[in-house]
Amino acid sequence: MWFGWSGEVRPREEVRTHNLQTSSQAYVVRDLSEEDFEEFYSGFANRVLWPVLHYRLDMAEFNRRELNGYLRVNQNFAEQLSKIILPDDLIWIHDYHFIPLGEQLRKQGHKNRIGFFLHVPFPAPEIITVLPQHERLLNALLQYDLIGFQTERDVQNFVRYVIAENPGHKVFQATERHIVLDHCGRQIRVGAFPVGVAPRPFERCASRATNTAFVQDVVKSLNGCAMVIGVDRLDYSKGLTQRFEAVELFFSRRPDWRGKVAYLQIAPKSRSEIPEYRELGEVLASMAGSINGKFGEPSWTPIRYVNRAYGRAALAGLYRAARVGLVTPLCDGMNLVAKEYVAAQDHEDPGVLILSRFAGAALECRAAILVNPYDLESVANAIGQALDMPLNERRDRHHELFATLSENNNHDWGSRFLNSLRELEIIGADRNPWLQLASAAGPLQG
């Protein structure tokens, strides 16, 4: 059963909980009131937690009212969830929107095995302690039985925080994959569970999509130019302004590629109710216009910048058609665009992935060209290196990357987490189907 936000925002008196059923999945979803959306989602979750967890303290706006709204919504969701939990259900809660949800369920007497997974980075203790009342919020994580992060770096940052703030806690290694914290006589398992993709199915999807009218029209419009592609939600954590500056530097340094390569940046707008996001869109539009004005010709546009969202198949086809995938976030929990770009490639003539070393995916994608997104010259040079790279080297890099992705696919990710949660239970106990708590990031999104 999937439980989460319905995606609807209504006046408080019209807020409802909805039960939905498909052929394979049950959903219980709840609306948010206008006040809850502003304080919980737009407020504390995305104007405080998101920037702090991504090391952007300069973007965080602390407000006690919004913290209260965040805690209130988690309590309300826990009350609704309590009505449908069975004593032997497994519960899997996702992401920073719902950090206190497990604690609220414990307060209502639920002793179920509850796991939590953070999809975004967990920063160093020196950063996370900037949060007002960080103890109140992050100690709620100690009510879970299993806490999962994207990378070992995130695990170590969390353990360091717990030790620094609670010196009496005992920490020991349980297995190669897990650390155990002893908290008030309870053992809490902590581990890295990097999210994967389904490389073979995505590869087949990309191969089919190259024959669609949409992808063929894009390729035809390039007039023989190679394509560099970036696909990111419009967010300041993605390093888009720095990326545009690096592309400008590349064209300045490599005039031999002018008229021979075009950069396509797809950046669907998100969280437009937050001023910083609207301003970012305006800045990028201005930068794209400036770069095109500086280098462009009547027959060639250096940067194509669009704010539309495209479907999975369309993106897969564009990835496959692109000579270079440019993925340079300033900070990212994982970044599945990088993995999807690799999965989409033609094994015989693959493109090259340029990846920020500050994305969680960089810990697996060692065969990519890893760059520091703050170092514009490094990124500009990497674009040239990728475009100049001979076929044999491109094949070798892609072979290594694809093999790595195949070892950690999306199905294995979910299975590893749930199996780890089940291992904590009494061996041989009969279990009902598990409940999954979805992120409040959007309607019906895991």
Q: What residues are labeled active site?
A: 119, 332
Cβ contact 424:146 at 8 Å: yes
Cβ contact 330:340 at 8 Å: no
Laid out side by side, the sheet with 178-183 consists of 17-21, 26-33, 2-10, 435-437, 91-94, 114-117, 146-149, 186-192, 178-183, 170-173
Pseudo-torsion of CA 101, 104, 110, 111, nearest 10°? 70
Q: How many helices (H) and strands (E) does the chain have?
A: 16, 16
Name 4's bridge partners.
29
Outline where 298-335 has alpha helix (H): 312-321
- Whole-number Å distance between alpha carbons of 327 and 332: 10
C-alpha closest to that of 383 among 357, 354, 342? 354
Integer CA distances (angstroms), 160 to 164, 185, 325, in order: 6, 20, 35
Cβ contact 364:194 at 8 Å: yes
The structure tokens listed for 235 are: 């967010």
Q: Give the total residue count for the chain.
A: 446
Integer CA distances (angstroms), 149 to 10, 192, 442, in order: 33, 5, 20
Name 29's bridge partners.
4, 18
- Whole-number Å distance between alpha carbons of 44 and 32: 15
The structure tokens listed for 48 are: 């405080």
Judged by DSSP in three states, 319 sits in helix
The structure tokens listed for 416 are: 């590893």
- Whole-number Å distance between alpha carbons of 415 and 421: 10
Integer CA distances (angstroms), 318 to 210, 234, 336, in order: 8, 19, 15
Name 356's bridge partners.
371
CA angle 429, 432, 433 (to 5 degrees): 130
DSSP code of residue 365: -
C-alpha closest to that of 246 among 302, 297, 198, 296? 302
